[in-house]
Chain A
Amino acid sequence: MEAVFLTFVFVLSIFLGFELISKVPSTLHTPLMSGSNAISGITMIGSLASLKADNLTVAVILGTLAVTFATINVVGGYAVTNRMLEMFKKKDAGGAK
């Protein structure tokens, strides 16, 4: 049953994703990509939870590497998206000559 439940969640999320993303204007497609990239760093949750107290074993090495890569994704992804979105400005009345 677990598999059915998870598949259910998966299918509904896909539909929700289609609804949400199709509303994003093409102007914001690059930030959308880097932002959604950061979201895909959610695997970090999984790798954190898999790093159980242990000696230096293959599992710990794999887990630490997974955490490192996922963190790059999350931190770098959100930071760069923020940096980009910061630049999208409407000209304020006084600014233009």
Chain B
Amino acid sequence: MNTMTLPINFAYVISAGLFIFGLKMLSSPATARRGNMLSALGMLLAIVVTLFNAGLDYKWILVGVVIGSAIGLVAAYKVQMTSMPEMVALFNGFGGIASLLLAWGEYHQHPELSVFIALVTFLSAFIGGITFSGSMVAFGKLAEMMPSKAIVFSGQHIVNGAILLAALVSGVIFAMNPADTYAIFLVIVVVSLLFGVTSVIPIGGADMPVVISLLNSYSGLAACAAGFVINNTILIVAGALVGASGIILTNIMCKAMNRSLANVLFSGFGATTQTAGSAEQQGEIRPATAEDVYYILEAADSVAFVPGYGLAVAQAQHVVQELGELLEANGTEVCYAIHPVAGRMPGHMNVLLAEANVSYDQLVEMDDINPRMDSIDVCVVIGANDVVNPAALEDESSPIYGMPIIETFRAKTVIVLKRSMNPGFAGIQNALFFNANTRMYFGDAKASIQALVGEFKSD
């Protein structure tokens, strides 16, 4: 302890205040950017004052900061908006591994820990490890470096249970006598990394919004635990804010799918439900050409675009925006109705459309569009499937029964852009496609919309 300890800790209080104000300003898109700046300022302040601690090894700090900043900046400015979920998954993982390394480093320097400190050291390493390897798997799935489908095998729950049990037992042994159990600590590190992998592989691509939110929360909680280890309140405050944020997002995502967290984590959804309810919902589909769709849109007073992950895959956000502009110029009221789980992470579609210069007041939430759906002339569904499937409301045998959907079928006309008649993630046929007021417009989303833009322009 030196004379700087007190001012440093006061500076941390200011940092915590800036984080809190920063998050508060995220409550509106108009102030959000300044909020982020405030938060970054808080972080900068905390980092700078920490450097005033006595006896630091600046050489290695410089090495870490320079390498880290370079990687961080390149990643942040190179990443495409469609790849944002991968990016966030990756960063989550780095936050986790940093907590693990911090706990490990602290333990390595001071192996004589009290039971409480040993326990939080265990938690920090364990949660950090899960966050890291789990995020890497999520990253691999999102970046399609590995199959994004749920990977399930028999006895999976038993294997996961055994790993978790091993971790907890190691944790207890470690906490009882940390000074003599270095090997056990290493076991904890390995087991936590293993557990992260085995707990994320059974989760399918479209459930990724939940997983990323949960891992986000873990990275905060790991930071929190690290704060307990080094007895530092700013880590605890900041970590708790992040932890709470992740938990709220996880909860919103689960609600939007009408599934419990346990169901998302353990059911292997999407790998096991292919058989459900496909046979009975057949009927006639009504394909439409670009010209047909053009006439429908041209006559419409109000159009709601309903984007899904397919929009991101086709990189169609810019052409959709262009089409939206043309429609508005034609006197049509345009909005974009976004389901909470559309895409691969919370808010994914909003960011893509914002990137394409769609005004944020045109981005409408599910709960705001559904009550006025009857008055919408045309819904254009782009690369979304399960989130507009009426089976969620009507068919009790459907695996997605009870999930809130964007009720496009109530609009006067629905145009569905789709590559083919393949069912969506949940493997369920969509009754919407066979409705009398639905027209199917087959093809690549981007090319299809480009064709529509062409029709409008040539007119």
Contacts and interface: CB of A to CB of B under 8 A. Distances in A.
Interface string A26-38: 1111111111111
Contact of B68 (A2, A25, A58, A70): A70
A96 B334 CA distance: 13
A43 B226 contact: yes
B91 A34 contact: yes
Contacts of A75: 68-69, 72-73, 76
Contacts of B230: 46, 49-50
A13 B360 CA distance: 30
Given A16-B241, A91-B359, A79 B53 contact: no
B75 A33 contact: no
B279 to A, nearest CB: 36
B98 A43 contact: yes
Contacts of B365: 25-27
B174 interface: no
Given A38-B43, A41-B43, A46 B88 contact: no
Interface residues of B, number: 112
B389 interface: no
B37 interface: yes
B106 interface: yes
A69 B55 contact: no
Contact of B94 (A3, A24, A54, A73): A73
A49 B53 contact: yes
B60 A25 contact: no
A66 B102 contact: yes
B223 A79 contact: no
Contacts of A31: 26, 32, 36, 347, 351
A9 B13 CA distance: 12
In this complex, the member of B55, B95, B246 whose beta carbon has the largest number of chain A beta carbons within 10 angstroms is B95
A37 B75 CA distance: 14
B76 A52 contact: no
Contact of A45 (B63, B88, B234, B359): B234
B142 interface: no
Interface stretch (B212-220, B412-420, B425-433): B212-220
B243 interface: yes
Interface stretch (B15-23, B268-276, B300-308, B370-378): B15-23
Interface stretch (B79-87, B380-388, B399-407): B79-87
Interface stretch (B149-157, B288-296, B338-346): B338-346
B236 interface: yes
Interface string A43-78: 111111111111000111011111111111111111
Interface in B83-112: 84, 87-88, 91-92, 94-95, 97-99, 101-102, 104-106, 108-109
A46 B360 contact: no
B26 A32 contact: yes
B333 interface: no
Contacts of B249: 21, 29, 32-33
A36 B216 contact: yes
A27 B359 contact: no
B24 interface: yes
A37 B68 contact: no
B40 A38 contact: yes
Residue in B37, B105, B226, B354 with the greatest tally of chain A CB atoms within 10 Å: B105
B71 interface: yes
B57 interface: yes
A82 B106 CA distance: 33
B56 A52 contact: yes
Given A25-B27, A31-B32, A35-B36, A67 B220 contact: no
Interface in B231-283: 231-249, 252
A26 B347 contact: yes
A94 interface: no
A25 to B, nearest CB: 7
Given A30-B346, A30-B348, A43-B226, 14 more contacts: A6-B227, A16-B240, A21-B248, A25-B27, A31-B32, A35-B36, A39-B39, A42-B239, A43-B222, A43-B239, A53-B56, A70-B94, A82-B33, A90-B30
Interface of A: 2-3, 6, 9-10, 13-18, 20-54, 58-60, 62-91, 96-97
12 contacts: A9-B236, A20-B23, A25-B27, A31-B347, A42-B234, A43-B239, A46-B235, A63-B57, A63-B101, A73-B68, A80-B84, A86-B33
**6 closest A-B pairs by CB:** A71-B68, A17-B244, A76-B72, A67-B64, A29-B347, A13-B240
